[in-house]
Structure 1
Amino acid sequence: MSSNLIYPSTLLLTSLLAIGFVFFIRASTKERIETQEWLIAQPITELAPRLKQYFQQRGYRLDAVSADGTEVTFQGQVAASPLVAALLFALAVASTTAIALVLTVLFPKGGILAFSLIGLAPIAPWFYWRGAQRLETVRVWLQPHEIGSQLTLEGHRDELITFEDRVLRPEAEVRGIHCRDS
């Protein structure tokens, strides 16, 4: 490769890094709503109060119940993570510093001004913090099934994973629980 192409190609790769970082920040606030179904060897009369208690302990409040009582909606305020905000700030400082270094090499006379890009780093955690704090909804459907109950949850992917880990996995050996993604 010609030595004339080293700096422009480095600038191109660093610019791609910056573009990827912008998409990473946007993805950190994206809602990832999923639906999962489980067959649980427990009657609805026992399962429903446990579900209500679990979601209230997680900071959700009962929002709505369908007329037939098979669909229940919980809502809760999701807080932003200070750890994620700090990580995004560190990544923003690193990526703007990398771009500034490349610009300084490419434009030696005025390139030092490129380090002012680092002043943009606080925008990343601010954008995350503003977008991550939101009202989150979890919908629960309970239907009778021949082995007990069919439970369907619709909510954020992380909430479904937490529910499965904290509620269903400890009982999987005791009761028959079968999972099916929708």
Structure 2
Amino acid sequence: MSSDLIYPSTLLLTSLLAIGFVFFIRASTKERIETKEWLIAQPISELAPRLKQYFQQRGYRLHTVNTDGSEVTFQGNVAASPFLAAFLFGLAVCGATAIALVLTVLLPDRGILAFGLLGLTPLAPWFYWRGAQRLETVKLSLQPHAIGTQVTLEGHPDELITFEDTMLGVR
């Protein structure tokens, strides 16, 4: 490879890093929904109050109940993660520094101005913090079954995992 192409190719790769970082921040604020089913060996009459108490302890409030009571919707505010905000800030600083270093080498006369990109790094955690705090909905469906109750839960994957761990002791 010619030495004339080293710096432009490094700039290209670093720019791709920056683009990937922007998409990483956008993905961190997206709402992901999954549905999972379990068969619990308890009748609905015993299980329903337990589930209501569980979701209320997790910070959800009862939002809607359908006419026969088999489908319930809970809503709660999701807080942003301080760790993820700090992590995104660190990634933004590393990415902006990398781009600034490459621009300094490519443009020796004005490349030092590229370090001004570091002034944009607080936007990464701010954007995440603004987008991650949202109202989250969990839909719970209870259907009678021959050996108990079929529970269908629709919500964020982390909430499904926590439900499984806490209520079912599966993991």
TM-score computed with the length of structure 1 as normaliser:
0.92
Residue number in structure 2 paired with 1:146? 146
State the alpha-carbon separation in 1 of the partners of residues 147 and 102 from structure 2.
Answer: 64
1:146 Cα shift? 1.0
Residue number in structure 2 paired with 1:82? 82
Structure 1 segments unaligned to the other structure (5+ residues): 173-182
Aligned partner of residue 4 in structure 1, secondary structure: helix
Residue number in structure 1 paired with 2:7? 7
Amino acid in structure 1 at the alignment position of 2:9: S
Amino acid in structure 1 at the alignment position of 2:138: V
1:141 Cα shift? 0.2
State the alpha-carbon separation in 1 of the partners of residues 68 and 21 from structure 2.
Answer: 47
State the alpha-carbon separation in 1 of the partners of residues 94 and 60 from structure 2.
Answer: 37
Structure 2 segments unaligned to the other structure (5+ residues): none
1:168 Cα shift? 1.0
Residue number in structure 2 paired with 1:22? 22
After superposition, the C-alpha distances for 1:92-121 in whole angstroms (9 at most, x for unaligned) are 000000000000000000000000000000
Aligned partner of residue 137 in structure 1, secondary structure: strand
1:169 Cα shift? 1.8
Aligned partner of residue 153 in structure 2, secondary structure: strand
Aligned partner of residue 80 in structure 1, secondary structure: coil
Aligned partner of residue 3 in structure 2, secondary structure: coil
Aligned partner of residue 74 in structure 2, secondary structure: strand
Aligned partner of residue 55 in structure 2, secondary structure: helix
After superposition, the C-alpha distances for 1:44-75 in whole angstroms (9 at most, x for unaligned) are 11111110010000000011111000000100
Aligned partner of residue 119 in structure 1, secondary structure: helix
Q: CA RMSD in A?
A: 1.0
**Matched length:** 171
State the alpha-carbon separation in 2 of the partners of residues 157 and 31 from structure 1.
Answer: 10
Residue number in structure 1 paired with 2:137? 137
Structure 2 residue 157 is matched with structure 1 residue 167: no
State the alpha-carbon separation in 2 of the partners of residues 162 and 6 from structure 1.
Answer: 48
State the alpha-carbon separation in 1 of the partners of residues 162 and 94 from structure 2.
Answer: 32
Residues 31-110 of structure 1 aligned to structure 2 (within 5 Å) = 31-110=31-110
Q: Percent identity?
A: 80
State the alpha-carbon separation in 2 of the partners of residues 126 and 29 from structure 1.
Answer: 11
State the alpha-carbon separation in 1 of the partners of residues 13 and 140 from structure 2.
Answer: 46
1:158 Cα shift? 1.0
